Amino acid sequence: MSDIKTIAVLTSGGDAPGMNAAIRAVVRTAVAGGMNVKGVMRGYTGLLGGEFIDLSRRSVSDIARLGGTIIYTARCPEFMTQEGPAKAARILKDAGIDGLIVIGGDGSFRGAQALAANGANVIGIPGTIDLDIGCTDYTIGFDTAVNTAVSAIDNIKDTSMSHERCSIIEVMGRNAGYIALWCEIANGADGILIPEKDEFDEQDLIDNILSNRKKGKTHHIIINAEGIGNSTRLAKRIENATGIETRATVLGHIQRGGTPSAKDRVYAATMGAYAVDLLAGGARNRIIAYKDGKFTDFPIDEALKMKKTIDEYQFMISRLIAMY
């Protein structure tokens, strides 16, 4: 066991629904274990500015149901310099912080790795709607974001059907196609464009729309992951090639907000408590994961070497069951 007395928590990178549930679990597990907890405002930017607040049991009351993050988040270019993490490690030491919990995506974990290289003790919790972290099958926020996107696509389908149109729907995910893939399986679509399969053939897509129309299909849905490119221009090209009125909708940041799903609250809370247990047990520089049905953890260096690829079986069946 370690003699950890004070820990800190920050959120970094894009916010994700469920981050607050993780913060609440961190605070309450740590306080129950006799530790003090500081919140670092605005991710690494706030860390470099020494923006600490005290977090008590009561200060995190009733936040599990809130989207966003009560301690704010940021992207911090200074952290990508050599001096940034070195300065941050000194700030943590001077503030008497024995362990830092970083809730964020793989970029944030690279920052955590740099902090660890400067002597800090950091535990990472995967928080991103993109589901693009190699070591884990679950990231905080994906479940809520994909449910938001699926429900938005249901709405678009209604109007697409009424007008007998083709609708291109652009979902988030940066360079990862997981939100798009899940939407395709959940909603059905004439085509899906994801960065992992960027060899897609636009003519095939057009032929598929035309062949479905011939078979009697009266509306068409194309799901486009943002990493692939401009949906409005794609809509114009499809309209010109097929003669079918085509509209593009970019779902954007509505996917990042909103009430976290029960799964996101429960998994995020479990990871928050797990992070504190790791620190209390003397662990150093680990990333928490949900892998093969279990909560687990990996050394940061090992976790960051793991690559996320699209699930080939899911991709294959997504195409098969979408056939008209």
Residues noted as catalytic: 130
Q: Does 13 bind ligand ADP (CB under 6 A)?
A: yes
10 Å CB burial of residue 18 (0-12, 13-18, 19+) is buried
| Contact between residue 291 and residue 137 where contact means Cβ atoms under 8 Å apart | yes
- Biggest distance spanned by C-alpha atoms of the chain: 71
User: Across the strands, what pairs with 223?
Assistant: 169, 192
CA distance 20 to 226: 26
CA distance 72 to 55: 14
Only one of the segments 111-119, 123-131, 258-266, 291-299 lies at the binding site for ligand F6P (rule: CB under 6 A); that segment is 123-131
Please choose which of ligand ADP, ligand F6P, none residue 111 contacts, taking the beta carbon within 5 to 8 angstroms, the exact cut-off set by kind: ligand ADP
| Contact between residue 78 and residue 42 where contact means Cβ atoms under 8 Å apart | no
Q: Does 106 bind ligand ADP (CB under 6 A)?
A: yes
CA distance 4 to 132: 31
Please choose which of ligand ADP, ligand F6P, none residue 180 contacts, taking the beta carbon within 5 to 8 angstroms, the exact cut-off set by kind: none
Rule CB under 6 A: choose which of 18, 39, 67, 107 binds ligand ADP: 107
CA distance 150 to 272: 27
Q: Does 105 bind ligand F6P (CB under 6 A)?
A: yes
The answer for residues whose C-beta is within 8 angstroms of residue 298's C-beta and 6 or more apart is 135, 286, 287, 289, 306
Q: Which residue has the tokens 């797990």?
A: 274
Please choose which of ligand ADP, ligand F6P, none residue 67 contacts, taking the beta carbon within 5 to 8 angstroms, the exact cut-off set by kind: none
Give the contact letters, 237-276, x = binds to ligand F6P (CB under 6 A), - = no: -------------------x--------------------
Q: Which is nearer to ligand F6P, 129 or 168 (CB)?
A: 129
Please choose which of ligand F6P, ligand ADP, none residue 107 contacts, taking the beta carbon within 5 to 8 angstroms, the exact cut-off set by kind: ligand ADP
Q: Which is nearer to ligand ADP, 117 or 186 (CB)?
A: 117
Q: Which of residues 42-81 bind ligand ADP (CB under 6 A)?
A: 44, 75-76, 79-80
Please choose which of ligand F6P, ligand ADP, none residue 129 contacts, taking the beta carbon within 5 to 8 angstroms, the exact cut-off set by kind: ligand F6P
Only one of the segments 65-73, 168-176, 209-217, 264-272 lies at the binding site for ligand F6P (rule: CB under 6 A); that segment is 168-176
Minimum distance of ligand F6P from residue 248's CB (angstroms): 17
Alpha-carbon distances of 246 from 202, 214, 236, 238, rounded to whole Å:
15, 17, 7, 7
Q: Which residue has the tokens 């149901």?
A: 65
Q: Does 105 bind ligand ADP (CB under 6 A)?
A: yes
Paired tokens of 234: 């794609």
Q: Does 129 bind ligand F6P (CB under 6 A)?
A: yes
Which residue from 272, 279, 264 is spatially nearest to 60, judged by alpha carbons?
272
Please choose which of ligand ADP, ligand F6P, none residue 261 contacts, taking the beta carbon within 5 to 8 angstroms, the exact cut-off set by kind: none
Q: Which is nearer to ligand F6P, 129 or 268 (CB)?
A: 129
Site for ligand ADP, rule CB under 6 A: 12-14, 44, 75-76, 79-80, 104-108, 110-111, 114, 128
